[in-house]
Amino acid sequence: MLSKRIIPCLDVKDGRTVKGVNFIDLKDAGDPVELAWQYAQQGADELVFLDITATHERRKTMIEMVKAVAKQLNIPFTIGGGITTIQDAEALLNAGADKISINSAAVKNPSLIEELARAFGVQFVVVAVDTKLVEGKNMVHLNGGRLITELETEDWIKRAESLGAGEILLTSMDHDGTKQGFDCGLLNAITQMINIPVIASGGAGKVEHFTEVFEKTGVDAALAASVFHFGEIPIPMLKQKLKDHNIPVRL
Amino acid sequence: MIGIVNYGAGNIFSLTSALERQHLDYGMVNTEADLDKYTHIIIPGVGHAGAAMAKLEHTGLVEPIRKLKKPVLGICVGMQLLTDHSEEGDAEMMKIFPLNTRLFNKDQGIKIPHMGWNNIDHKNNPLFAGVENLTQFYFVHSYFIEYNPTFDIATANYGMPFSAAIQKDNFYGVQFHPEKSGIAGELLLKNFSNLKY
């Protein structure tokens, strides 16, 4: 049976992981390779690295980091942030990334999804969508929720699927950072609407939120950052709890 | 030493990294003569099976690989290349296994691609030596190889049973990615390197 996936998300700046990470036996919390390896040891099913570097050197630094991670890591990982061209994606693929995640570049240029899927296969293309409820409608937002678009989330996700997205990473900006649980209503509506895997993101604060999102919605994976980084939810414990609820996980 | 067929279908950095972690030596196979340099051959592959087959044909390695008597392992699309035919691009494959590569049927209520960790039920083949039965491996594919008891050495279930691994004589194929399947995947690569034929 296909397992539900648990995915820690790491922010990367200038080739270093940022946000306070609090593993007891970590020598260098800013080293993406060591951190990734630790997460793999704990039983993470997959990792997402989000590049928030703003400098011109970003591309080169990122490729070096991806190579270093791919050398050591024996589970799949996705790279997101600042990918706007086929060339960006190809360089990451050749460096060992399993998937790339595109967000605003896809909104601005939807044909990028199609081009990437044709060049590298749909399995390589994750479309990340940031959504926020505005006057009763789920609207796609850019720039971490600061910029509203004219796209309704449901319409955009359907379109992304038809263009060749292999997976959707859906972050509810209303829930993100609240630690009050995932947006199960919207996530379930989306999973009923499309036929590709969906990763839930935004709102994880305790173990019950993970149980809830897998029991109440058809999502395939749940992503979180701080609850894992600060050790609030150890992954082995989380997976055991999910298993106790008869949710298929990899132990 | 392991030779990796270098025909331009997908990235092999993750595979070579996994071999290095297992301290397994490898080199690249670009020509027919290169096949003689190695004791074991891996055919990697990501992406479109039809396009991958066209690339492999372009290297002129199809017939020489078919004639090999040493252990050969096809991974993911590399496994699908060993079959008769793929529905992806309606393409003729290498015809080593009399099996077909087919598209998953979404009418069975499954999402496509099949992406993530799934259990495999294996049949104590040496390729899986030391791998506990029902261990999960990492899959990512939209096309699958139909289950056939003659060649099946590991079965997975996604809407229906399909072959996670196959064997015929010295030819092996795995649908999952051992290079991304944690410790079990690394063990499988090590097992392959120890196969004698």
Q: Is B76 a catalytic residue?
A: yes
State the ipTM, two decimals: 0.93
What is the residue-wise DSSP string for chain B? -EEEE-SSSS--HHHHHHHHHTT--EEEE-STGGGGG-SEEEE---S-HHHHHHHHHHHT-HHHHHT--S-EEEETHHHHTTSSEETTTTEE---SSS-EEEE--GGGS--SSEEEEEE-EE---GGGTTPPTT-EEEEEESEEEBP-TTTEEEEEESSSEEEEEEEETTEEEESS-GGGSHHHHHHHHHHHHH---
Instruction: Flag if B117 and A95 touch (Cβ within 8 Å).
Output: no
pLDDT for position B57: 96
Give me the sheet containing B85-86, strands edge to edge. B91-92, B85-86, B100-103, B143-145
Instruction: Flag if A1 and B106 touch (Cβ within 8 Å).
Output: no
C-alpha distances in Å from residue B78, one per residue of A138, A249, B24, B40, B81: 42, 28, 20, 15, 5
Q: Which residues of B touch A40 (CB under 8 A)?
A: 182
pLDDT for position A30: 81
Rounded Cα distance between B127 and A42, Å, is: 26
Instruction: Flag if B118 and A221 touch (Cβ within 8 Å).
Output: no
Mutation test of the interface with chain B: which of A98, A118, A196, choosing the one with the most B Cβ atoms within 10 A? A98
How would you class A20 by CB atoms within 10 Å of its CB: exposed for 0-12, middle for 13-18, buried for 19 or more? exposed
pLDDT for position A105: 95
Q: Which of B48, B76, B122, B141 is catalytic?
A: B76
Nearest CA in chain B to A71: B17
Q: Which of A31, A51, A88, A130 is catalytic?
A: A130
Q: Which of A11, A51, A88, A176 is catalytic?
A: A11
Instruction: Flag if A74 and B111 touch (Cβ within 8 Å).
Output: no
Neighbours of A109 (CB within 10 A): 14
What is the residue-wise DSSP string for B54-103? HHHHHHT-HHHHHT--S-EEEETHHHHTTSSEETTTTEE---SSS-EEEE
Contacts of B6 (CB under 8 A, 6+ apart): B12, B28, B29, B30
The low-confidence residues of chain B, meaning pLDDT below 70, are: none
Q: Which residues of A touch B137 (CB under 8 A)?
A: none
Distance in Å, alpha carbon of A65 to nearest chain B alpha carbon: 13
Of B11, B136, B140, the CB nearest to A94: B11
Nearest CA in chain B to A197: B111
- Asked if B187 is an interface residue toward chain A (Cβ–Cβ < 8 A), one would say no
Q: Which residues of B touch A197 (CB under 8 A)?
A: 111, 113, 115-116
> Smallest Cα–Cα separation from B161: which of B175, B173, B150, B145?
B145
pLDDT for position A135: 96
Distance in Å, alpha carbon of B109 to nearest chain A alpha carbon: 9
Distance in Å, alpha carbon of A99 to nearest chain B alpha carbon: 11
User: For each successive 10 residues of chain A (251 residues), what is the average pLDDT?
Assistant: 96 80 58 91 96 77 94 96 93 94 96 94 95 96 90 98 98 92 97 97 96 98 92 95 98 90
pLDDT for position A14: 85
* Largest separation between any pair of C-alpha atoms in chain A: 48
Q: Is A244 a catalytic residue?
A: no
Q: Which residues of B touch A167 (CB under 8 A)?
A: 115
Instruction: Flag if B140 and A98 touch (Cβ within 8 Å).
Output: yes
Instruction: Flag if A75 and B142 touch (Cβ within 8 Å).
Output: no
Q: List, as ranges, residues 91-120 from B with C-beta within 8 Å of A.
A: 106, 111-119
Q: Which residues of B touch A96 (CB under 8 A)?
A: 11, 13-14, 17
Mutation test of the interface with chain A: which of B55, B76, B132, B138, choosing the one with the most A Cβ atoms within 10 A? B138
**What residues does A240 pair with on adjacent strands?**
none
